[in-house]
Amino acid sequence: MSNKAHKYVEDETRVAVVTGSSSGIGLETSVLLAENGFHTYAAVRNLQKSRTLIDTTENDVLPLQAIEIDVNNDTSVKDAVSKILYEKKRIDVVVNNAGYALIGPFQDSSMDEIKAQFETNFFGAASVMQAVLPTMIKQRYGRIVNVSSLGGRVAFPFDSAYHGSKFALEGLSESMQYEVEQFGIRIILIEPGVVKSHFWDNLKMASKAQRSDSPYLEMMQKTRFLMKGKKTLS
């Protein structure tokens, strides 16, 4: 990175954006960035339902600001990025953390459910990256952190759509790094394992996953028994 790029970052307040900040990894990352001097936009799909985030932004004396971004909606993403650039004129760090897991045998998962899984976990991150890259290229500096998972490296049964979305995100990230490093931009992959968060509470079960005549029923029951009482991947 050039000295100019270093000076650009050091002389001004840095700006970070973290998607999926209503709880868990996203919320903790937003707070950590704010504590370290970043003006942090903690993004959530619905501000009205994000009480923990709102309480945090109101009660702590931190440069932490809640913002609404639905990563499944390109217009929402572009409007939010435009708002941030209008207010701060820059974006230095983006953390793509928004995501969830679809549980169930692939055969029992509808195409609409599979597409929705990719829409959030893969295309949501892609939409955010396309929106911020022009600014980062102009700055000649940027850090994009894509929160993948251990499930982006190793696959387990009954998470096929989830694993597919995370494997896809990893391939996209690795290819992009070759393209953007010339502009002082780094694409960083994070692959958490088991994390104590609300991720488990937000799991979505495939609509046909628990039908009594499913050929996978016995295996599903055994898998659920093994997972009972444990936290899942982020």
d(CA 118, CA 145): 18
> Are the C-beta atoms of residues 187 and 177 closer than 8 Å to each other?
yes
- Annotated catalytic residue within 8, 41, 141, 162: 162
* SS3 call for 55: helix
- What's the CA dihedral at 211, 213, 214, 220 to 10 degrees? 70
Does the active-site annotation cover 162? yes
d(CA 130, CA 44): 18
Which residues make Cβ contacts (< 8 Å) with residue 164, sequence separation at least 6? 114, 117, 118
> Are the C-beta atoms of residues 52 and 20 closer than 8 Å to each other?
no
Question: Which positions are catalytic?
Answer: 162
